[in-house]
Amino acid sequence: MSTPRIPARSHQQGLVLFISLIVLVIMTLAGIAMIRSITTSTQVANNLSLRQGTTAAADVALETARQWLIAISGTSPATLNADSAANGYSATNTVSPINPNDGTQWRTGSNWVWVATTCAPRPCTPAAMPQATSTATVTNANGFSASYLIQRSCSNAAAPSLVIDTVAATGNPCNLVKACPNCLKEKTSFNVNYLITVRIQGPKNTVSFYQASLY
């Protein structure tokens, strides 16, 4: 009587399961990497869109302020020797309009104005500007709010003067720019420099400040 032979246990049992686990881990890591890549790409695209919207809103505000300066300079330039809170204009630049304690806010007392977005055609006329005391925030269709303040680069609210008498304390020193940079002082006129500060408040509670000089 012969005894039946029992086959030896194969040394390969469990190898398929081990390989499957390795492949599963690799696929999981690849999926996580893909999700993170898509998330990063989406954030980059959102940031670029936010930046473009902020820049576009700032351009509208700067152009609106420039149009107001051009209009006033051509009709009644003497009014630029005094502050105009209703139009976001300061005849002096002795104080920065940005809050030193909170770089995202206007300085308290700055007579900035909102940029209206309902006027047509663009740019808005000065009369369409809500004052800084307005309780309603002016927001465009993309969720951006623009406000600005124009500062004349002079030390006091008076007519600009090329001749400053330091003894008698007369004259109004201003940052003047030669109309003809290469001409002699006696052969050219001088223009007053204006600093326009724009504050843009956008989606996700983002705040940006832009500044431009005009003369």
Q: Tell me the pLDDT tens digit for each residue of 39-89.
A: 666 666 666 667 777 888 888 888 888 888 988 888 888 888 888 888 889
Residue 29 lies in a domain: yes
Q: Pick 12 or 150 by higher pLDDT.
A: 150
The residue among 120 and 16 whose pLDDT is bigger is: 16
**Does some domain include residue 197?**
yes
Listed residue (196, 213, 211, 192) closest to 64, CA to CA: 196
Residue 31 resides in a domain: yes
Q: Is there a domain that residue 8 lies in?
A: no
Q: Is residue 6 part of a domain?
A: no
DSSP 8-state class, residue 6: P
pLDDT higher than 60, residue 130: no
User: What stretch of H or E contains 191?
Assistant: strand 190-192
Is 160 within 8 Å of 176 (Cβ atoms)?
yes
Asked whether residue 169 carries a pLDDT value surpassing 90, the answer given is no
**In whole angstroms, what is the distance from residue 90 CA to residue 148 CA?**
11
Number of compact structural domains in the chain: 1
Would the pLDDT of 149 be above 50? yes
Task: Print the domain residue range for 62.
Answer: 15-214
Indicate whether 21 belongs to any domain. yes
Is the pLDDT assigned to residue 34 strictly greater than 50? yes
Q: From CA 63, how far away is CA 74, in angstroms rounded?
A: 16
Write down the pTM of the prediction.
Answer: 0.67
* 129, part of any domain: yes
